[in-house]
């Protein structure tokens, strides 16, 4: 009796229909091993584990760049109205390399606002763009350029 039960279990386990069902449920008895994805670099072939490690290192470097990019004191820029259809309180500026939060102060009036600083290409002396909401918070005229002091936070 024990041998018949053992034989029945072996026959059922070998059945393709049962095997395909267990593959869908838990991935057991898979007849097709999943291939390891590879990434080709200049030095040769790297498996997905090393590629994931590279992504982690890049993320750490980006966070370090955000930490190192803070500055003391103010940087000056001239800003005009940016895209009025884009919501939020932001300033596109070449003063930053990564998106971060900062504070802008109008040099003439002293009005201040906390904004998201968004990097754009250009020299540090190039102009910036303020969102419509940021211009309103700063009580700045929409049709004129505004001299700003920018503080990193």
**115-125 pLDDT, tens per residue?**
999 999 988 77
Percent of the chain with pLDDT over 70: 58
Would you say residue 111 has pLDDT above 90? yes
Q: Return the SS3 of 129.
A: strand
Q: What's the CATH architecture for 75-152?
A: Beta Barrel (2.40)
Domain positions in the chain are 23-68, 75-152
For residue range 26-84, list pLDDT tens digits in order. Answer: 555 445 555 555 555 555 555 565 666 667 656 655 554 544 466 677 899 999 999 99
pLDDT, averaged across the chain: 77
Q: Which helix (H) or strand (E) holds 41?
A: strand 38-41
What average pLDDT does range 87-102 have in this prediction?
A: 93
pLDDT for the residue numbered 34: 52
Percent of the chain with pLDDT over 90: 46
Does the reported pTM lie above 0.85?
no
Chain-centre distance for alpha carbon 10: 51
Asked whether 98 and 152 are in contact (CB, 8 A), the reply is: no
Strands, E, within 87-141: which ranges?
90-93, 100-106, 112-119, 128-130
């Amino acid at each position: 009796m024990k041998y018949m039960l053992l034989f029945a279990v072996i026959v059922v386990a070998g059945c393709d229909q049962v095997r395909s069902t267990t593959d869908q449920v838990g991935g057991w008895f898979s007849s097709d091993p999943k291939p390891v994805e590879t990434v080709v670099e200049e030095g040769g072939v790297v498996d997905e584990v090393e590629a994931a490690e590279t992504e982690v290192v890049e993320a750490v470097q980006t966070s370090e760049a955000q930490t190192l990019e803070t500055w003391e004191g103010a940087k000056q820029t001239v800003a005009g109205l940016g895209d009025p259809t884009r919501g939020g309180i932001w300033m596109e500026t070449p003063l930053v390399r990564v998106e971060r939060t900062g504070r802008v102060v109008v040099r003439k009036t002293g009005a201040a606002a906390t904004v998201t600083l968004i990097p754009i290409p250009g020299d540090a002396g190039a102009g910036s763009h303020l969102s419509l909401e940021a211009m309103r918070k700063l009580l700045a005229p929409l049709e004129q350029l505004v001299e700003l002091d920018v503080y990193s936070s």
